[in-house]
Structure formats: structure tokens, C-alpha cells
């Protein structure tokens, strides 16, 4: 299904940035969940391009305002490491307190997984650069809840559409994304940024890896 209007303009802008920053590579890569992927989207490079990073951040902030509303959350939590630059600038722009979530509990000092000030009942919006299977966001949501926070929503720039939305729904978290990877792939192909094989690689990968994730929705943490 094609997207139109303002969403189409955002899609074009983001794809131009991905092309300019060479953020998409094809080959064999291992993702954080340990499974191989034939393509890699490295959004960590974007902060190295200040103008591009400023525009991506602005798009993200506008999406959060429009889809969730700033009155519906109290704090923002970034997912290390790729989610931290985005969550920092989003929290600053929206004047929301910032937290960040360690992947493992710190074994010294306060020995916490959630860094920053979190009060019982605080509504926390999770921010990451992208979502694949949703495992990192799920772990983060559970960590915030374990310390008394409330997590109902997570927001990413890009959804790779490999089962993350369903995995988060299993624990009562709604996934929001600025863009879906199938739309990005199609637009990059139309722009000449990737060839037909690249398009088929991305679209075919969605089907294969999504099936794997959904067959194991209750994977242990």
C-alpha cells in the first residue's frame, strides 16, 4: 500500500538521508538477536552528519507529537547505544526528563538498569533507532516496569517488520514507527539508490525473518 501526502515527503527525505550517509549495506551481518541478515541499516552514522541528524530528529519529534502527544508520557528512555543520540535530542526538544536503560544491570554504584530519576507511576516512552524482532525494546520495557515505571508505547525511526510489533504487543506495548522498511526499500529502488536485487533482498528478508520471530513469540529473556 502506497503512502501519500506528508508521509510521502518524510519518506523521500529519510531515503535521501540514508543514501547520502551510506547507511544501508548488503552482505552478511549478525544482528543483536544473533541471527544473520543479508542487509544492515546503520543509523549510528547519521549523527556524524549534523544537518541530516537535525532533520531526522525534527521528523522524529513531530511524529511523537502527532501520534502520541506530549501530554501522554512523563519521561523518555533511550535504548543504548543507537537510541541514545535520538532520545537525548527528542527529550531536550520536548523538555522531558531523559532516562537510559542498560542492557545489563550495573554491578557497582546504585546497581540499576534504568539510569536517571524514575518515580513510581511515571509513564515512560521508549525510543530507539529501529526495531527488528523487538527483543531489546521488550527487555527495556520490562526493566522500566520492574522499577515502578509504566510503559505503554515505544517509538522507532524504522521498523524492519520482522515481528517486533507483535512481540511488544504480547506485553502490552504499542509500537510506533516513523517508517516501515518495505516503504523505504521501494522508495530507495525508485530513486536508484538500490538495485532490483537489493529490493528483493529486503522484501524477501521480511517474510523469512518475520516468520521465525512469530514462531517463537515467547522466547525467554
The mean of the pLDDT values for the chain is: 89
Query: Does the pLDDT of residue 125 top 80, yes or no?
Result: yes
Q: Where are the domains of the chain?
A: 5-215
Query: Does the pLDDT of residue 4 top 70, yes or no?
Result: no
Going by C-alpha positions, the residue among 60, 99, 25 that lies closest to residue 178 is: 60
5-14, 26-35, 72-81, 125-134: least confident range? 26-35
Residues with Cβ within 8 Å of residue 152, at least 6 apart in sequence = 123, 172, 173, 174
Residues with Cβ within 8 Å of residue 139, at least 6 apart in sequence = 103, 221
CA distance 99 to 84: 9
Q: pLDDT tens for residues 135-185?
A: 999 999 999 999 999 999 999 999 999 999 999 999 999 999 999 999 999
On whether the CB atoms of residues 176 and 67 are closer than 8 A, the answer is yes
Residues with Cβ within 8 Å of residue 33, at least 6 apart in sequence = 132, 133, 135
- Residue 136 Cα to chain centre, angstroms: 10
5-215 folds as: Rossmann fold (3.40.50)
Q: pTM (2 decimals)? A: 0.89
DSSP-assigned beta bridge partners for residue 37? 29
Query: Does the pLDDT of residue 220 top 50, yes or no?
Result: no
What backbone phi and psi angles, to 5 degrees, belong to 25? -130, 150
Amino acid at each position: 500500500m502506497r503512502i501519500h501526502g506528508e508521509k510521502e515527503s518524510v519518506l523521500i527525505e529519510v531515503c535521501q538521508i540514508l543514501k547520502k550517509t551510506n547507511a544501508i549495506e548488503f552482505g552478511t551481518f549478525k544482528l543483536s538477536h544473533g541471527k544473520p541478515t543479508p542487509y544492515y541499516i546503520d543509523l549510528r552514522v547519521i549523527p556524524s552528519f549534523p544537518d541530516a541528524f537535525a532533520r531526522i530528529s525534527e521528523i522524529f519529534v513531530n511524529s511523537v507529537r502527532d501520534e502520541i502527544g506530549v501530554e501522554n508520557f512523563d519521561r523518555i528512555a533511550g535504548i543504548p547505544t543507537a537510541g541514545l543520540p535520538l532520545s537525548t535530542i527528542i527529550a531536550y526538544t520536548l523538555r522531558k526528563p531523559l532516562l537510559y536503560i542498560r542492557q545489563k544491570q550495573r554491578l557497582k554504584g546504585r546497581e540499576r538498569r534504568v539510569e536517571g530519576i524514575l518515580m513510581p507511576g511515571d509513564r515512560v516512552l521508549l525510543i530507539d533507532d529501529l526495531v527488528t524482532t523487538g527483543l531489546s525494546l521488550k527487555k527495556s520495557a520490562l526493566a522500566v516496569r520492574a522499577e515502578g515505571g509504566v510503559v505503554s508505547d515505544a517509538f522507532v525511526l524504522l521498523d524492519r517488520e520482522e515481528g517486533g510489533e507483535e512481540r511488544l504487543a504480547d506485553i502490552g506495548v504499542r509500537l510506533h514507527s516513523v517508517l516501515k522498511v518495505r516503504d523505504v526499500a521501494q522508495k530507495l529502488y525508485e530513486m536508484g539508490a538500490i538495485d532490483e536485487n537489493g529490493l528483493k533482498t529486503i522484501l524477501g528478508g521480511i517474510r523469512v525473518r518475520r516468520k521465525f520471530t512469530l514462531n517463537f513469540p515467547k522466547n525467554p529473556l
